Amino acid sequence: MTGTDTARPRLLPALPGLACLFAALSAMALLSGCSSPPAYREWTASPDVPTVAYDECTEQVDTTMRLRGYPQRPLPETPQYGYRKEMFALCMRRKGYMAE
C-alpha cells in the first residue's frame, strides 16, 4: 500500500498555489480596467459654457456675500464691491477663464 502512494502525484499541495495565482490574475484583470484614460476628455465644451460659468460664479458669490452679511450687489464706492469683484474673478479663474 505504501508503494501506490508514492507512484501517484499529489495534487492537494499544489491547489493553494494555484488559487493564489488565480487570485493574482483576477486582481490584475480588475485593475487593468481602471487604468484607461478618463472618459470626460472625450467631451467638448458647448458654446454656452462661458454663460453657464458666469451664472454659476454669480450664484456662488451671491451666496458667499449673503453668508458673510454683506449686500449681494454692493455699490462701487464700498469696500464690499472690491471684495465681490475679487471673489468673482477667483471663481472664473478656477473654471479656466481669463479676464478679457
pLDDT of residue 24: 67
Query: What is the mean pLDDT of the segment spanning 76-92?
Result: 92
Structural contact between residues 74 and 81, judged by C-beta atoms closer than 8 angstroms: yes
Q: Is residue 63 part of a domain?
A: yes
Does the residue 5 lie in any domain? no
Nearest to 96 by CA among 43, 59, 58, 54: 54
Cβ neighbors of 97 (< 8 A, separation 6 or more) are: 50, 53
Average pLDDT over residues 74-87: 92
What is the tally of structural domains in the chain?
1
Reading the block at residue 61, the C-alpha cell is: 458669490
Answer whether 0.85 is exceeded by the pTM: no
Q: Domain span at residue 50?
A: 44-94
Whether the Cβ atoms of residue 31 and residue 57 lie closer than 8 Å to each other:
no
- The three-state secondary structure class of 98 is coil
CB hemisphere CA count around 13 (13 angstroms): 2
Q: What is the pLDDT of residues 36-61, one digit of tens each?
A: 555 545 556 677 777 788 889 999 99
Q: Are 57 and 94 in contact (CB under 8 A)?
A: no
